[in-house]
Amino acid sequence: MFSYIVRRLAFGLLTIIGVSIVVFVVMRILPGDPLVAIFGPDGYTKLPEQERASLMAQLGLSDPLWLQYWRWVKDIARGDFGRSFFRSESVAEMILRRGPLTAQIAFLSVLFSWLVGIPVAIVSALRPNSWADNVVRFFSILFLAIPGFWFGMLMVLGLLFTFGYRAPLTGASLLTDPWTTLQIIIGPAIVLGLGQAAYIARLARSSLLEIIREDYVRTARAKGLDGRRVIALHALPNALLPVITLSGLLLGFVLAGSIPVERAFGTPGLGLAMFTAVSERDVFVMQNLVFLYAVVFVVLNILVDIIIAWLDPRIRYQ
C-alpha cells in the first residue's frame, strides 16, 4: 500500500509540474494588455508610452519568460501566491477568504448528489424499465443536459419574482453566521448537485444492475436474506466503488462548474473570483487560481485512488 501511495504521489507531482508549465505559458501568450484593467480604458489611453513600459517592468512582465516562471515557482514553494496587480489583497488572502465558500458548495453538492442519486439508482435498478425507472432516467438525462448557469439563473429569477427573495450579498463564515452561509451556498450546491446526481444515478444504476446478477448476490438471496439486506449489505457496497471514483472526479469538476454557477448566483466564492480575473485579464490571479484548481484536482484524484485501493484489495495487490 505504501509503495502504491508513493507511486501515485510521484505521478501527481509530475502532473502538477506539467500543469504549471502549461498554465504559465498559456497566460503569457494570451493577447491583451493587463494595464487596461489597471487603469481602465480612459486612463489607459492617456498613459504615456514610457510610463507603460515602466509599469510593465515593475510588474515583472518585461522579464524573460523563463525568469518569470522560475520566480513564480519559487514564490509558490514559499507559499506566496503573489498579488492581483490591481487589487488590494494578495491571492493567498483571496483564496483563504473565498475558498471556504466554494469548498462548502463543492462538498454540499457532492453530499446532495449522493442523497439524490443513490436512492434514485436503487429504485431504477430494482425496477428496470418500470414507469419509475423511466421517470428517473428522464430527469437524470434532463439534469445532465441543462447547463448549470442557466438553471442557476432560473432559480435566482424564480425565487426573486415568486417570493421576492435574493440570497445575501456578502460572504459569511460558517462558524460565525451559519444561516447566512447556508443561504449563500444552498442554491449553487443544489444546481451543481443535481447535475452530479444525474451522473451518480446513471452510474450507480448500471453498476447495481450488474452486481445484482452476480453469484454472491444470488447466494445471499438463496440463503434466505430479505431483499433489502441483500441490496444494502451485499450489492450496494460493491456497486458504489465506481461511484466513489466518479464522486472524486466530480468534486474536481464542481470546482470548474462553480465558475459559471457562482456567476449566475453572484456567490462571492473562488469561481466568481476566477470569472472576474479572466474578464479583467488579471494574469497573476488567473495563473494562481488555475494552478490551484489543477492541484486540487490532482490531489482529489490521488485521494480517491487511495480510498479505492483501501476499499478494494485487488487494486493495491496489483
Partner 1 sequence: MTGSRKPHSPWTRPPLTRRDVLKGSAAAAAAYGLIPDFGLAADIPNEYDGSKFQLAAAEPNPKRGGVLRYGITSRPPHFDFHQSGTINSLGSQGCMFDNLIRRDPRDSGKTIIPDLAHSWTISKDGMTYTFMLRKGVEFHDGAELTADDVKATFDRISKPPAGVSIPRSILFKAVSEINVRDKYTIEFKLSEPRPPSYIMGALASGWNGIVRKKTLEDNQYNLRKVVDIPGTGPFKTKRRIEAEIWVMERNEKYWNKGLPYLDGVEFHHGLPFSPELSSAFLGGRTDYARLLDPVSARKVASTPGMSSLNFYQSVIQGTWPNTKKKPFDDPRVRRAVHLVLDRHVLVDVVKDVAPMLVGGFIYPFSEFATPLDQLTKKPGYQTDSTAAVKEAQELMKAAGHANGIKGLDFLVREVATFKLWSQAIQAMLQQTLNIECKLRPVVESVWFDDIKSGNFDMAIGAIVSTLLDPSDYFNAWYKDGGPQNYSNWNNPKFLELLPKIDTEIDAAKRIALVREAEAIMEADVPMFPICWEKINDGWYNYVKGHNPKDYFGIYDVVRMDTMWLDK
Q: Where on the chain is the footprint of partner 1 (CB under 8 A)?
A: 31-34, 36-48, 51, 54, 86-89, 94, 97, 153, 156-157, 159-160, 164-166, 168-171, 264, 266, 268, 273, 276, 279, 281
The smaller minimum CB distance to partner 1, of residues 38 and 239, is found at 38
Q: How far is the CB of 46 from partner 1 (least distance, A)?
A: 4
d(CA 45, CA 149): 35
Q: How far is the CB of 82 from partner 1 (least distance, A)?
A: 15
Q: How far is the CB of 107 from partner 1 (least distance, A)?
A: 22
The smaller minimum CB distance to partner 1, of residues 83 and 205, is found at 83
Q: How far is the CB of 159 from partner 1 (least distance, A)?
A: 8
The smaller minimum CB distance to partner 1, of residues 97 and 316, is found at 97
The smaller minimum CB distance to partner 1, of residues 31 and 224, is found at 31
Among the listed residues 185, 33, 176, the one whose alpha carbon sits nearest the alpha carbon of residue 106: 185
- What are the grid coordinates assigned to 6, written together? 508513493
Q: How far is the CB of 72 from partner 1 (least distance, A)?
A: 20
Q: How far is the CB of 293 from partner 1 (least distance, A)?
A: 19
The smaller minimum CB distance to partner 1, of residues 12 and 266, is found at 266
Q: How far is the CB of 233 from partner 1 (least distance, A)?
A: 48
The smaller minimum CB distance to partner 1, of residues 51 and 312, is found at 51
Per-residue burial over 277-296, b = 16 or more CB atoms within 10 Å of its CB, e = otherwise: beebbbbbbbbbbbbbbbbb
**In this structure, is the dihedral angle defined by the CA atoms of residues 198, 203, 209 and 212, taken in order, positive or negative?**
negative
The smaller minimum CB distance to partner 1, of residues 257 and 268, is found at 268
If one counts every other C-beta atom within 10 angstroms of the C-beta of residue 217, the result is: 18
Q: How far is the CB of 48 from partner 1 (least distance, A)?
A: 7
